[in-house]
Structure 1
Amino acid sequence: MDARKGRLMPDGRLTLEDRERIAQGLADGIGFAEISRRLGRPTSTISREVNRNGGAGAYRPDQAHEATRQRARRQRPKTIDPPPPAARTREAEDKLTDVLVASGLTRMSARVLACLCTTHSGGLAAADLVQRLRVSPASISKAVAELEAMNLIGRERDQRRRRDRYIVDQDIWYRSLLASARFNTSLAEVAHENAEALGRSTPAGARMDAMSEFFEHVGRETIAVAERYRHLLTR
């Protein structure tokens, strides 16, 4: 129906005719509840319409209708074009970097790992990393050394270009969990030795004993879970 004269807008909004009937009801001294019953609208709709457009003594249907159209035009959401692929990749890289830093990696190592993970090839040479991250070769060298020591990245020789490429594969997270499990096992062993040395009946010895048992179980369960779900990384 016509937006100005139809009885009911497609989205349920008040039409100009509705507003004229509201104005007539107000002029006749009819309350909001009765006006809403006649229009088949909630009382809250009528009261809100009148109050936002001058109140019962100053309500004008034409002005109210035009004001509503203006508000709808201002509130209409703007179409936002999706960011270009490069921007989406950078956003994904930044989000992953923040999570990796929170997990304990230095920011430079986290940036390198995130960069490799969000690269379609899964591998880049040191010079490529320098260019993409805009940092010094020394920074890249230090970061990849840390990541290699943690078994989070690998290295392969690019025979065509005669230089090494640093790569990530689907097993990096599996290896990361195994490294975590080994760390927990080491903690459990040291705590067990300390409990024996301090005496299990002492407060400190009891604390070490509980610590040993906790990390022993956590380490064992971590390995079991990593093995159970490893197939998800290679499907």
Structure 2
Amino acid sequence: MRAAGSFGATRSPALRTTRASSLRAEGVQVGPYEGVLFDLFSGLLDSQPAYDDVAGSDVLGRRWRSEHSRLSYLAGDYRPHDDVVAEAAERIGLSPERAPALVARLGELGPWPEAPGVLAQLRATLKIGVVTNCSDELGRRAAAQVDVPFDVVATAEAAGAYKPRPEPYRLALDALDVSSARTLFVAGSPDDIAGADRLGMPVYWHNRRGLDLGGRARPLAEHDSLTPLLEVTSLSRMT
């Protein structure tokens, strides 16, 4: 199993969706959904190029992102996000003075190509929001790049803790006023799956880079695109 937050090992994803009717037959409650929550920096935005550019190479960029993710997932209580970015840089041999440039770039990322259209369709019938391991200011700037209004942007700073602690997810659920069983969580990394699963949220893994699930709990669905979300949310209404 890879360390928490690792973005290194890749594979060809076994794209799959488990029908809601099959899960219900096993006693698992799935939908119909009232809300969809998204991881931001992998689920909706392609953040890797920002790390690569600021680090100066693809290799260092991947290491920086992996270490940043690892430190965030291990942090527990919130500490300033910029400090986590700087520490991650220093741990892989980069100057921590590069951190402000990366944070600035993370607030300017473009969404995955299909994201705006998919979210616009979801928003027509469902509440949508973001749960993200960053500061309030960065979360607002980055979420705005999707160009679709969210009902909530729940940050680690606002929650007082980093994912996969339950506080960020609960903050978003409370803001949407929906139950965890009626909320689909769209994870961008394997380590986000367990945090949402522990709160009873079905998980759609947007596995864009073909990462390995390892020994983690299997999500309801795994796809390398956001487009199948439309089918998954429709399937939840079928018996």
- Regarding TM over 0.5, the answer is no
TM class by smaller structure? under 0.3
Answer with 1 or 2: which has the greater Rg: 1
Structure with the larger RCO, 1 or 2 (CA within 8 Å, 6+ apart): 2
